[in-house]
Structure 1
Amino acid sequence: MLRINKILLRGNGVKDAFVDFDSGANILAGESDTGKSFLIRCLDYILGAEQLKKPLKVAAAYTHLFVEFENSNNEVLTLERALDGGKLLAHYVPTRDIRDKGEIIAPVRKGKSKGPDVTSIFFPFAGIKEAKLRKNVLGETQRLSVRTLSPLFLVDEVSIIDEHSPITGRPSFDDTARKRTFSYLLTGKDDDGIVAAEKGEIVKAKLQAKLEVVQELIRPLEERFGAGPNSVPIALGSDDDLDDVIAKLTEEVEAATTAISRLHEETQVTTALALRAESQLLGVAEIQSRYSLLDERYHSDLKRLDFLAEGSHYFESLQEVPCPLCGQQLTLPHHHGERTQTLMSSDEIRRSAIAEAAKIHAYLVDLQKAMVSVDHRKSELEKEKNVAQAALKNLQENLTRNLTPLLASTAEHLEELFERRAERDAEQTDLQRWIELHKRQKDIQKSLVDSNQPKPEWGGLSSQSLSSLCTEIEAVLTEWKWGSAPRVTFDEKEYDIVVDGQPRQSHGKGVRAILYSAFIIGLLRYCVNNGLPHPGLVVIDSPLTSYKKKDAATVSGLNEPVSEGVEAGFWHSLTLLPKHLQIIVIENKEPPASVAKEVHYEWFAGDYAGAEERAALIPVPSGLSAIS
């Protein structure tokens, strides 16, 4: 359990606006328009409301809200939030000791988020365990949040006099969740582990959406294939001749392709032969060139030898002939060796020249034979080259005139047949799809008929727990001098109490408010006395004063003021409240002086506040209206 220590507004350049509270009973009374009800809206906002409702004009300079809580272990939690929205900061120290930024938490978890939020911080601090509660009749569950629980301990001035249930409030999507929250407080048992039934409405919506999609897909096919699946314009698997022709032409294309490949291979081989012959012809030409040069060399040598043989005869007739060895005149006596005279003999020279010429003639004979052989090889190579070139020409003509046109023509025809077959296959596919869509449509329509399953039944509230709660509310009403022996029951249809046989909602606004307060305080006492989940505090706005402002037209029911005896009993009961509980009552009416002394009491005097009195929640300069 926990209690509220302080509610504080802070801004730049303005004094802090705050209200302190104590354990047990707290009464905050005062004139209208002094900011009392604004405190309820601040608590709702700090506990995760999306925005601060009806902000005060005089509080425009304030930017941040702080609410300080203290639990039964004397631990402190201060929640901070900017007044213009956004996330909160959690501080685990009193407001006066805040120095650090604090832990960032979200107002509520959205989607599949597992991050910290107000509920994950507030509930453990208050000693409330995490719970899973059913959120609809199908059995789907959701996490219990402080947003669902808060209406059972924060009661504003409009809800308290409304004709709706204090548990569910105005009808909304979360009625089941609020009812299950009430059941959880009564018994301490949540709905974790229940098996959810399938959502009939969602199933129907999905089936209907599927049916619309199927019908939309069928519509364009109806124009082609008729009004029903039995009207089949063509037979599936027809036009087999087309497949046969395609198969035959495919074989022809493959044969032509094979022939062309073979021609290409032959062309490559023949080209290689022609190139080899051409290369060898170049080699033969080079050999012939060298043989011609050698032949010229041999004939040149023969001429030189003839010249030497003929010239040696004339050496002796010359008068002055230099020695070929030393350059002296041969007519002069000189000696070079034993064979010198022999070597320089004209006969010897002639014989040597003739011998050398004979060798050269032998070489010429061999050379002539070699040249003849080369000429023969050249002729053979030229013949091979010509044959290869002729074969290449024939291969190219066969490829150009026969195979290539045949392949092109066959391929073109085959392409046309492929297109025809594709059109046929597409037609058959659409027909098959049309038949399947009709079958799918019938299946969905049958599923729609079969989806009208009865909703699952769930057990009601625990009769024993309700009886104990009603007994506690009777004790509260007895303390308030409602009557000698008030009789309280619970109407599970309206989710509201019935007092002395009359439903709470059938009373006037004043009585509705006091009975609403009795229910909220009775629930607090019942939960705490039985160790059941509850924050341990309630805040009630205007339990004794009927809501009479101009916008009260939105609240139905006649005004029925509370009797003086009940009012006096209400005030007196607050003095008996144990200190481990906290009740904060916000009222326009002043409590009796004897009560004010026994509880934590604060008075907002409004425009006519004295020098020692507090005018309103927001400090304002003297002479100005407290709340505008």
Structure 2
Amino acid sequence: MDNQGFYIKQVSYKGIDGANATLHFEKGLNIVAGASDTGKSFILETIDYMLGGGRSLEGLEELKKFDSLYMEIRTFESDIAYTLKRDLELGAFYIKFGAIDQEGDEVKYAARSSDTNEQNISSFLLGLIGLNNIRLTTSSSTKKTKKLSFRDVAHITLINEVKMFSKESPLLSGNPNTKTAERSFFEYLISQKDSSNVVKIEKEEIRKTRLNAKIEYVKARLKGDKERLVGLEASLGQIQALKIDDLASINDQYAGYFKQLETNKLDRKKAIDDRTEIESEILYNNQLLDRFNLLLGHYDADMERLEFIDEGNNLFSLLKYVACPVCGTDIEEQHYKCIQNSELQSETLNDAINSEYQKIREKTFDLKQTLDEIEGRNEVFRKDLNKTNDLISDLDQLIDQEIMPVISGLKSKIESIVGQELLIKEKARLEADIEALSKDQTELEEEKKKKRIQEAPDPLNETRLGKFETEVKELLQGWKFDNVKNVVYDPAKSDIKIDNKNRGSYGKGYRAIGQSAFIIGLMQFLRKNDNKFSKLLVLDSPLTAYKKQDLPPSDEQQIPKELESEFFRDLVDVSKSCQIIILENKEPPADVIDKTKYWHFSKNAKIGRAGFL
């Protein structure tokens, strides 16, 4: 499945004043050959640096004129371009969509892989090769895991000169802290099962601490439950034994008395309402009596006033008109007539007084009758009030002294029976808990004494592993490697055996060929089985370790010429579905140069390109 992965299009150092050092690559096989000390190995360091390796490049004098490093990568399927930029001083990463010479917004990415921040260079590159969210085992004893980083991929696909000739496994970096994770990555590639479902195992001291804590917790619970059980048994011993069968009969009695209580409470409420109504009527009548008595007083006062006027009028009517006793003069005519008129008016006044007096007497009589009627009603109300108060008193006495004591007694019996049953159930629960906790304590004590047996790792899938071994063997056979007949993977060394001989036991030239066959065979195996992996491989000096300026290598460093030629020719075909960059002192055959992207570093400015920078 060729839609995953990326290849490098170009690498370019840029600096102030237009300083520029660029190297172009293509899909397939790319060869940079030439003399030593021309910057070939620095190409691998540059690529590794742009794929997240290190915080800074080593301080070469030639780097001082550059401040930024760019690398254009493209996807295999649709040739979509991305440009990675890295600040040479600070090491910060920036990525933009498009080629180096295209305009575009640069987005900052973290240089280090992180489980919490997905915007980092590792996650970006893993996404391009389809290996995001893979977890590796980092400890065989604890089964601790970590997220796959692109550095785990780069470690086996960017092979520098030192590692190329190393006796160490192609999978291992030599760091004991990462050995388990490096093996776990190979196991994933072969089995296609990562460590996401692996259950983490505790360290022995943590396990013992955890078990001790559990044992102490169980002991504390046992102690508390036993103390509560003793208290419950004492309480049950003090309670008068009651039968649960009596509960139904007592409940019926309780319901009957409670119903009677409710009826009496309703009667009492009605009596209280009646009393309130009677008291309201009496209060209303008393207010009427007060008003009518006040009105009666007004009538009495009016009658007294009329009697006073009438008496005065009678006295005036008895007076006689005579001549002046002093001078003997008679009253004048007009005065006499006036007096006569007054006498007439006096008679009229007497009539009016009598009439008014009669009216007031009638009203007074009616009012007194009304007062008597109201007093009569009040007397009836007072008798009813007394009866109602007696009824309320009787009901209160019945409720408080007869019904409620019975209800309280029945309720107490019900609570005692229920409480007794609850105590019995609680006792049974505590006994069960004590039994379970005692069992837990025994099991925990036994588990604490046991020594944990470390589980053996699952064996690699033999079928898929066999296919990988076949790929490596066919590569070595195609390269005419010492008439090889058999290649097997040795899990103990995480390396291959060639005709039952450890790869690390060969001389350094053959070790390098075996190293190349291992990783190229792995890439071929994964590609043919539609498994996701990087399609970029950089090999530094797979054929020779050192070559002086444009001179042939010494005989002691040479491997057979036929092997060298077949190595290059075979990689032309192998690299059609990937990108392989060879950094080599030796020149490839002419027919290979015509089929590859080829650079020659001569270390001589007069002959082609002198070097990288």
Q: Into which bin does the TM-score normalised by the smaller protein fall?
A: 0.5 to 0.7
1:131-280 equivalence runs, <5 A: 149-167=153-171, 171-182=179-190, 190=192, 199=199, 212=212, 214-223=214-223, 235=233, 238-239=236-237, 241=239, 277=282, 280=285
Which residue type is aligned with residue 560 of structure 2? V
Please state whether the residue corresponding to 2:57 is helix, strand or coil.
coil
Q: Following TM superposition, by how much is the alpha carbon of 1:566 offset from its aligned partner in structure 2, in angstroms?
A: 3.5
The equivalent of 1:293 in structure 2 is 298
8 Å contact kept, 1:167–1:178: yes
The equivalent of 1:122 in structure 2 is 128
Which residue type is aligned with residue 100 of structure 2? T
Q: Following TM superposition, by how much is the alpha carbon of 1:292 offset from its aligned partner in structure 2, in angstroms?
A: 1.0
Which residue type is aligned with residue 179 of structure 1? E
The equivalent of 1:564 in structure 2 is 558
The equivalent of 1:89 in structure 2 is 95
**How far apart are the structure 2 equivalents of 1:90 and 1:600?**
28
- Structure 1's 316 and 346: CA in aligned 2 closer, same or farther, altered over 3 A? farther
Of 67, 71, 82, 1:78 maps to: 82
**How far apart are the structure 2 equivalents of 1:222 and 1:564?**
78
Question: What TM-score do you get using the length of structure 1 for normalisation?
Answer: 0.62
Q: Following TM superposition, by how much is the alpha carbon of 1:516 offset from its aligned partner in structure 2, in angstroms?
A: 0.9
Instruction: Tell me whether 508-517 or 262-271 shows the greater mean CA deviation.
Output: 262-271
**Mind listing any 5+ residue stretches in structure 1 that lack a counterpart?**
124-128, 184-189, 323-327, 335-340, 400-417, 548-559, 620-628
**How far apart are the structure 1 equivalents of 2:386 and 2:505?**
124
- Structure 1's 272 and 351: CA in aligned 2 closer, same or farther, altered over 3 A? closer
1:190-247 CA-partner distances (Å, limit 9, x unpaired): 569xx999859589999989855542322224446679x9x97864982462898xx9
Structure 1 position 583 matched with structure 2 position 580: yes
The equivalent of 2:568 in structure 1 is 574
Of 26, 31, 54, 1:52 maps to: 54
Question: What TM-score do you get using the length of structure 2 for normalisation?
Answer: 0.63
- Structure 1's 104 and 342: CA in aligned 2 closer, same or farther, altered over 3 A? same
**How far apart are the structure 2 equivalents of 1:521 and 1:571?**
17
- Structure 1's 87 and 364: CA in aligned 2 closer, same or farther, altered over 3 A? same
The equivalent of 2:337 in structure 1 is 331
Please state whether the residue corresponding to 2:215 is helix, strand or coil.
helix
8 Å contact kept, 2:523–2:535: yes
The alignment of Structure 1 onto Structure 2 pairs a total of residues equal to: 559
Identity of aligned residues (%): 16
8 Å contact kept, 2:71–2:84: yes
The equivalent of 2:601 in structure 1 is 603
Please state whether the residue corresponding to 2:181 is helix, strand or coil.
coil
Which residue type is aligned with residue 506 of structure 1? S
1:156-555 equivalence runs, <5 A: 156-167=160-171, 171-182=179-190, 190=192, 199=199, 212=212, 214-223=214-223, 235=233, 238-239=236-237, 241=239, 277=282, 280-308=285-313, 311-312=316-317, 331=337, 344=344, 350=350, 353-354=353-354, 356-370=356-370, 433-441=433-441, 459-462=461-464, 463=466, 466-476=469-479, 478=480, 482-483=481-482, 485-493=483-491, 494-521=493-520, 536-544=535-543
Q: Following TM superposition, by how much is the alpha carbon of 1:505 offset from its aligned partner in structure 2, in angstroms?
A: 1.6
- Structure 1's 286 and 131: CA in aligned 2 closer, same or farther, altered over 3 A? closer
- Structure 1's 63 and 295: CA in aligned 2 closer, same or farther, altered over 3 A? farther
Q: Following TM superposition, by how much is the alpha carbon of 1:27 offset from its aligned partner in structure 2, in angstroms?
A: 1.3
Q: Following TM superposition, by how much is the alpha carbon of 1:278 offset from its aligned partner in structure 2, in angstroms?
A: 5.2
8 Å contact kept, 1:41–1:53: no
- Structure 1's 191 and 292: CA in aligned 2 closer, same or farther, altered over 3 A? same
RMSD value, Cα: 6.8
**How far apart are the structure 2 equivalents of 1:425 and 1:61?**
87
**Mind listing any 5+ residue stretches in structure 2 that lack a counterpart?**
324-329, 400-417, 547-553
**How far apart are the structure 1 equivalents of 2:367 and 2:533?**
130
Q: Following TM superposition, by how much is the alpha carbon of 1:440 offset from its aligned partner in structure 2, in angstroms?
A: 4.2
**How far apart are the structure 1 equivalents of 2:298 and 2:605?**
144
8 Å contact kept, 1:510–1:561: no
Q: Following TM superposition, by how much is the alpha carbon of 1:180 offset from its aligned partner in structure 2, in angstroms?
A: 3.8
- Structure 1's 377 and 236: CA in aligned 2 closer, same or farther, altered over 3 A? closer
Q: Following TM superposition, by how much is the alpha carbon of 1:540 offset from its aligned partner in structure 2, in angstroms?
A: 0.8
- Structure 1's 22 and 219: CA in aligned 2 closer, same or farther, altered over 3 A? same
**How far apart are the structure 2 equivalents of 1:438 and 1:455?**
36
Which residue type is aligned with residue 570 of structure 1? E
- Structure 1's 613 and 372: CA in aligned 2 closer, same or farther, altered over 3 A? same
